[in-house]
Amino acid sequence: MRFRSFKPPPRRGPRLHLAALGVGLIALLLAADALARPGGGDTFSGGSSSSSGGGGGDAELLFFLIRLAFYYPQLGVPLLIIAVLYFTIKMRKRPAEAWSSQPRLAPPSRHAELEAIAKLDPDFSAIVFEDFVFRLYATAHQARSTPADLDALAPFLSPAVRAELAKRDPVGQTITDVVIGVMKPIAVQLPGDKQDGEVIVRLSFESNMSAGDRSYHVDEVWTLARAAAVRSRPPDAVRAFGCPNCGASYSSSDSQRCDHCGQVVDDGRFDWQVRELRLVQQTPLPPTQRGSVPERGGDMPTIVHPQLRARWQALCAADPALTHDRLRARTLLIYRELNAGWSELDPAKIRPFVSDGMFDYLRYWIDTFKRRQQRNVLKDMRVEKLTVVKVTRDRYYDAITARIHAVGIDYTVDAAGKTLRGSARAPRSYSEYWTLIRGATVRGAPRDEPSCPSCNAPLKISMAGTCEYCGALLTRGDFDWVLSKIEQDESYSG
């Protein structure tokens, strides 16, 4: 299943710029690139930086170009500049490709633990934070064409960030269908012993969004800050972007102070504020390429959290009804229902088993398929292996991440039944990391049948996520484990 399917096919960006400058240099660069590929027995040892061989080839090429620039500046200098550009881009991209044949731990240099914030703020929940950030991201982009909408987000977006968003291409056009594929913490900085310090979090995003009939793939880095002394508000309080102090819907006559409570709230004193927003790239997506990415990464080593065992035991000790088998059965139920709902373009089937954010994401793709009169058919899908890799627990949620290896028939057809992608005959293997969440106070064996965990009636659920018989809200993990995240092998970093 292609949940991440919105990225343009990986292209060798630098090659385009180089095309005009001669085949010779391209050959050189590609040769260097080939040298950089792991596969000749290079290993990636957890903990060290992400250099994985090939550096020698790069250095040789650079040295050659420097000499060329010295002797034939007219040719050498431009080539050298391009080569430096090329390597800069390559270095930036390389971490995603680092791998080894050994199981490895999450390398700290690439992956930052949001959980570290709980040391300062015991009410901090990475799950609640991620949910907040997902919604803020979508809301900020949707607001960027309307100054008044942007100003209403002043407590959460610094003036610089709002200005940056307002001038983003296509200027003034309404942004719709913002869907985040990957959100990854890349740095978490605690203030140390400083009393008045701030917690800084840097996040990288890969997303899709549309403006009119155009769609874009967007890579961005966001830097958020919050005063170190702040304690997180409970999940319900952060669902709307109101005043971070009093919760009233935010308006301000001096664009700093909340009209309701009179506090200055646009400085991260009460809640997270985005201080800096860096656009890495924005690529227009040709309509035909939307949703077609070849599967890769299935044979990458499994990334296991260093404290998996201890945390899993602590979780099972708190809830003896939770066993590996029961969790597996629950995950397989979700897997089946998700595939069926996806394949039949029936979001109602999926609704009881996924978090709100996940549902928005899946429904976006189901709607897109419907609009295009296409269908992604999934048949004979089965999970061959399920490996629990990570457990996190905070004040509000428990979360379990498992890697699944699965296989099945996966193809896309148009209204006339013509196959557009994939194969209706050959099964395809793939692997993904699934994160399930459940309320931190909930206990009991995970269910593996589709009935309401509150009233036991057969599952019939509204789009808002409530049981139609008893009204219980099932999709925040208040009753049982629900799927909150699917990450692809190549983007999962622990």
Given the rule CB under 5 A, which residues bind Zn ion? 243, 245-246, 258, 260-261, 452, 454-455, 467, 469-470, 472
Contact of 434 with 401, CB cutoff 8 Å: yes
Distance between CA atoms of residues 491 and 33, nearest Å = 21
**Cβ 475 to Zn ion, closest distance in Å?**
12
- Residue 245 vs 368, nearer CB to Zn ion: 245
Smaller CB separation from Zn ion, 225 or 265: 265
DSSP 168: S
Residues 6+ apart with CB under 8 A from 117: 124, 126, 129, 188, 190, 199, 201
Q: Smallest distance, Å, CB 457 to Zn ion?
A: 5
CA distances from 323 to 86, 313, 445, 468 (A): 49, 10, 8, 30
Would you state the structure tokens that stand for residue 258, as one six-digit string?
């909340």
Q: Measured between alpha carbons, how far is 430 from 403 in angstroms, rounded to an integer? A: 11
CB nearer to Zn ion: pick between 30 and 261 = 261
CB of 114 to Zn ion, least distance (A): 26
**Looking at beta carbons only, is 109 or 454 nearer to Zn ion?**
454
Helix-strand-coil split of the chain, %, nearest 5: 35, 25, 40
Of the pair 126, 258, the CB lying nearest Zn ion is at 258
Residues 365, 343 contacting (CB under 8 angstroms): no
CB 188 within 8 A of CB 11: no
Q: How far is the CB of 223 from Zn ion (least distance, A)?
A: 24
In whole angstroms, how close is the CB of 434 to Zn ion at the nearest point? 25
Nearest approach, Cβ of 252 to Zn ion (angstroms)?
9
The one-letter amino acid at 433: Y
Q: Nearest-5° angle of CA 179, CA 180, CA 181?
A: 115
Is the Cβ of residue 107 or residue 453 nearer to Zn ion in the bound state?
453
Report the nearest approach of Zn ion to the CB of residue 449 (Å).
14
Q: CA 130, CA 184: separation in Å to the nearest integer?
A: 10
Residue among 245 and 488 whose Cβ is closer to Zn ion = 245
Instruction: Using alpha carbons, select from 157, 167, 285 the residue that is nearest to residue 218.
Output: 285
